[in-house]
Amino acid sequence: MLRKMKVLRWLVVSALVFTVAGLSIAQQEEVPGVTADTIKLGSFIAQSGAVAPIGIPVVHGAQTWYNFINDQWGGIYGRKIEFIALDDGFNPANTVAVVKKLVEEEKVFAIVNPLGTITYQAVFDYLVQNGVPVVSPHGNAVFMCQPTVHTAFSIQPNNIAFGRTLAQYAVLKLEKQKIGISYVQDAFGAELYQYVTDELSKRGVTPVATVSYPGTETNFSSYVLQLQQAGAEAVILLGYLADAAAILREAETLGYKPQWLGTNTITPVLYQLAGTAAEDLIFIGFATDPGTPYHPEAYLFTLLLNRYFPGEAPSGYSEIAYIGAQMVTDALSIAGPDLTREKFIQALETFKDWEHGLTPKITFSPTDHCGIEALWLVALRGGGAVFLEEWDWTQY
């Protein structure tokens, strides 16, 4: 009888344990991508084709930080980060397929560190409708954070910040009145152009010349001549690195040397393409140069990147992805052990003056999901980049 009682008690206890465990598992299963020991994060990043030189460093930068969190701390509250970065080849049609796979088959918790404006645009509505949080997209487009969408958060400054900063800096700081603009005829160039001209107009300045060129352009001579003939003392370049290099070299041939200003597509790599013609160009940055000496956070980033991807040179692309990953893990940590998508979003909205030493401060709120607002003005000098000053366009 006693033995029967013991068996019965064991069965009851076992049943209770299994029921509680089952309930717990059932509860966890309600949160996509979250299990007792894993948080599954997805991303769409071009790793083949023309955009691969940007996409591969982005994957490596984000993976570096997630690996570090897993190895050093065992993940977040015992859950290891599984980062699934699928290659969409920077083709929006592929992005749709890749994201459906991530959301419907892989059942990821969130989309993090995705790359591209047109690619993100192709899946934006789908992700919003499915309530999938998106954090740290790599792109400048305004739609990424304005108007505020409950599930979507940015890290990079958007084209409003870039456009207005360039115009303000040219007029207020450099005191130029004869300003020329060159922009590429695509969504990126047109959006920037809109905010540059709007800001100039607010300051009572009308551009003396505006030239626009197709993304397929290989001959920039007539554009440069037009800017030169108009007597532009400062020229704002709203295009890509190779376009800027071609324009600068053409101008150097013609002996035309205005104050060039560029957006975040400019990097010190411009020196390799344009040579001395790149000297003194001012551009906008928003993250510390990973090669900055005596900078502990830049050093840690370089060290970790080399640990997980030996031989890979740190770049702005891998660095901003690494910072984006830091943002994601910080929010996961604040969200607590009983992780839900809503708690994750609420955690992000508590960020106030957030930074890890590599970017200007970021503040989110329920009504503001835009990332970096204050920008860093940098000049190309002596073969490298020289920090000039921080510029918060919202203050002017």
Partner 1 sequence: MLAQLIVSGLASGSLYAMMAIGLILVYKTTHILNFGYGDMTMFSTFIAYMLLTWYKLPFAVAFLGAIACGFLLGIIVDRGFLKMAKNAPITSLFIATLGIGMILEAVAGWVWGYDTKPFPYIIKGPPVLLGSVVIRRHDLLVFAIAAAIALLLFAMFKFTDIGIAMRATAQNKRAARLMGINVGQIATWSWAIGVGLGALAGVLIAPIVFLDLTRMILVMIKAVAAAVLGGFTSLPGAIVGGLLLGVMENLTIYMPAALAPLKTTFVFLLIIIVLAIRPQGLLGESVGRRV
Residues that bind partner 1 (CB under 8 A): 49-53, 185, 210-214, 216-219, 221-223, 225-226, 229, 241-242, 245-246, 253-255, 269, 272-273, 275
DSSP state of 150: T
Closest approach of partner 1 to the CB of residue 333, in Å: 36
Closest approach of partner 1 to the CB of residue 245, in Å: 7
Whether omega for the bond prior to residue 366 falls within 30 degrees of 0, making it cis, is: no
361 to 124, 286, 287, 303, 311: CA distances (angstroms): 26, 10, 11, 23, 30
Contacts of 315 (CB under 8 A, 6+ apart): 57, 290
Q: Vertex 381, ends 378 and 385: CA angle to 5°? A: 40
Backbone angles phi, psi at 217, to 5 degrees: -65, 140
Closest approach of partner 1 to the CB of residue 256, in Å: 10
Closer to partner 1 by Cβ: residue 222 or 365: 222
User: Long-range contacts of range 149-153, CB-CB < 8 Å, 24 or more positions apart?
Assistant: 149/369, 150/345, 151/127, 151/341, 151/345, 152/124, 152/127, 152/128, 152/369, 153/348, 153/364, 153/369, 153/371
Residue 158 to residue 170: CA distance in whole angstroms? 19
Closest approach of partner 1 to the CB of residue 246, in Å: 7
Contacts of 2 (CB under 8 A, 6+ apart): none
- Total residue count of the chain as it appears in this document: 396
- R_g over Cα of the chain: 24
Tell me the DSSP string of 164-217. Answer: HHHHHIIIIIS---SEEEEEESSHHHHHHHHHHHHHHHHTT---SEEEEE-TT-
Closer to partner 1 by Cβ: residue 68 or 309: 309
Closer to partner 1 by Cβ: residue 41 or 247: 247
Closest approach of partner 1 to the CB of residue 85, in Å: 17
Closer to partner 1 by Cβ: residue 223 or 364: 223
Closest approach of partner 1 to the CB of residue 189, in Å: 11
Closer to partner 1 by Cβ: residue 222 or 394: 222
Contacts of 241 (CB under 8 A, 6+ apart): 265, 266, 267, 269, 270, 273
Closer to partner 1 by Cβ: residue 245 or 377: 245
Closest approach of partner 1 to the CB of residue 353, in Å: 35
Q: Is 366 exposed, middle or buried (0-12, 13-18, 19+ CB in 10 A)?
A: exposed
Closer to partner 1 by Cβ: residue 214 or 293: 214
Residue 288 to residue 53: CA distance in whole angstroms? 20
Closer to partner 1 by Cβ: residue 186 or 233: 186
Question: Which one, of 268, 225, 262, lies nearest residue 243 by Cα?
Answer: 262
Closer to partner 1 by Cβ: residue 211 or 331: 211
Closest approach of partner 1 to the CB of residue 337, in Å: 42
Closest approach of partner 1 to the CB of residue 217, in Å: 8
Residue 228 to residue 234: CA distance in whole angstroms? 10
Closer to partner 1 by Cβ: residue 216 or 395: 216
SS3 362: strand
Closest approach of partner 1 to the CB of residue 286, in Å: 21
The identity of residue 218, as a single letter, is T
